[in-house]
Amino acid sequence: MARVALVTGGMGGLGEAVCIKLAALGYQVVTTYSPGNGKSAAWLAEMEKLGYSFRAYPCDVADYDSAAACAAAVAAEIGPIDVLVNNAGITRDMTFKKMDKPNWDAVIGTNLDSVFNMTKPVCDGMVERGWGRIINISSVNGQKGAFGQTNYSAAKAGMHGFTKALALEVARKGVTVNTISPGYIGTKMVMAIAQEVLDTKIIPQIPMARLGKPEEVAGLVAYLASDEAAFLTGANIAINGGQHMC
């Protein structure tokens, strides 16, 4: 039977590439979309035309009950979740001087609380079955901090601590927990940055002098999800064109 992979935020740039990669490898791929997202049917139809039949569930990953309901529906209707990719995320950039509580809470909720919310209903089942993969999509800006991103850098850095602590707790149970920290990848999130800023401030910081491709991150997710990666846990893998090495 095909393993079930739940990818949150699969209708975004990176998530879509992850869904396609895992489906191509034979996983039964399920994704989530924000309850207010009116484009989910169109996205599913577009994917169907490309030969991918994904299932998608409405889920606000920042909301504990919504995440629990989504995970329960996937388990009941499709099967136990073997691979969880915590990918959904947002930015609300502003300097700390302007940072207000709603923009702090929104980013912490969607990028960090979400990891707890989605992992909580999934992890025990993985442990009981003796196999599981939890892959958290963080960011280079969680490793090094970024101007105007106290909220996002804090949330993404928090994912690293979560990853290492949970990896210890489930290490003997066949479940691995890892974090991927992408640098700048050419998705909607990054293409929303003014071209001039990309050209003058961001690309010059990247030794490879280009943005990453979503498929390059998806390949890494696929490796971490595989049986071959069974001995790799608690790691944070940077994929950033050489922008930040540590």
- List residues near ligand NDP by CB under 6 A: 8-9, 11-15, 32-34, 37, 59-62, 87-90, 110-111, 137, 139, 182, 184-185, 187-190
Provide, rounded to whole angstroms, the least separation between the CB of residue 25 and ligand NDP.
Answer: 20
SS3 category, 153: helix
Helices 64-77 and 114-129 meet at what angle, rounded to 10? 30
Look up residue 161 and give its two tokens.
């601590």
Other residues' Cβ atoms within 10 Å of the Cβ of residue 30: 24
Provide, rounded to whole angstroms, the least separation between the CB of residue 164 and ligand NDP.
Answer: 18
Residue recorded with tokens 């073997």: 82
Closer to ligand NDP by Cβ: residue 16 or 82: 16
| d(C-alpha 120, C-alpha 222), whole Å | 22
- Which residues on adjacent β-strands are paired with residue 85? 7, 135
Provide, rounded to whole angstroms, the least separation between the CB of residue 75 and ligand NDP.
Answer: 18
| Catalytic residue flag (residue 152) | yes
Closer to ligand NDP by Cβ: residue 109 or 132: 109
| d(C-alpha 39, C-alpha 223), whole Å | 30
Closer to ligand NDP by Cβ: residue 54 or 184: 184
Q: Are 56 and 44 in contact (CB under 8 A)?
A: yes
Query: How far apart, in Å, are the Cα atoms of 159 and each of 38, 47, 106, 196, 237?
Result: 29, 30, 16, 31, 12
Provide, rounded to whole angstroms, the least separation between the CB of residue 66 and ligand NDP.
Answer: 8
Instruction: Quote the distance between the C-alpha of residue 243 and its chain's center.
Output: 20
Closer to ligand NDP by Cβ: residue 55 or 173: 55
Q: Which residues of 184-216 are buried (b: 16+ CB within 10 A; e: fewer)?
A: bbebebbeeeeeeebeeeebeebeeeebbebee
Closer to ligand NDP by Cβ: residue 9 or 121: 9
Catalytic annotation, pick one of 27, 33, 57, 152 = 152
Q: Which residue is nearest to ligand NDP (CB)?
A: 12
Provide, rounded to whole angstroms, the least separation between the CB of residue 139 and ligand NDP.
Answer: 4
Catalytic residues: 152
